[in-house]
Amino acid sequence: MKPTMYAAIYEIKVPGYFDTQGAEWAGEIRITAETEADGSPVTTLTGAVDQAALIGLLRQLYALGLPLISVIWIGEGSQ
């Protein structure tokens, strides 16, 4: 039996600001940049992805040399 793939909503935070131009790899992911209370810049990626897409997104961030601050499961999404 093949497992059912479903999407979940994730919030991924990485340090710094990065240019979202040319970020086609992000697909339907919402990318926002903000400044934390301590003045440090943080980029947040939020969206509904399945497990394979989540791994692909994390690999892309790794390829860009961006360390992870957090990956948080927000809730079930739809696909």
Domains of the chain: 8-76 (3.30.70.600)
How does pLDDT run across 9-68, given as a tens digit for each residue? 999 999 998 766 656 666 678 888 999 899 999 999 999 999 998 999 999 899 989 899
Is there a contact between 68 and 61 (Cβ–Cβ < 8 Å)?
yes
Distance between CA 68 and CA 66 in Å, rounded? Answer: 6
| Burial of 59 (C-beta count, 10 Å sphere; 0-12/13-18/19+) | exposed
Put simply, whether the predicted model's pTM sits higher than 0.85 gets the answer no
| Burial of 47 (C-beta count, 10 Å sphere; 0-12/13-18/19+) | buried
Report the pLDDT value the prediction gives residue 20, as an integer from 0 to 100.
64
Task: Give the confidence band of 1 by pLDDT, cuts at 50, 70, 90.
Answer: very low
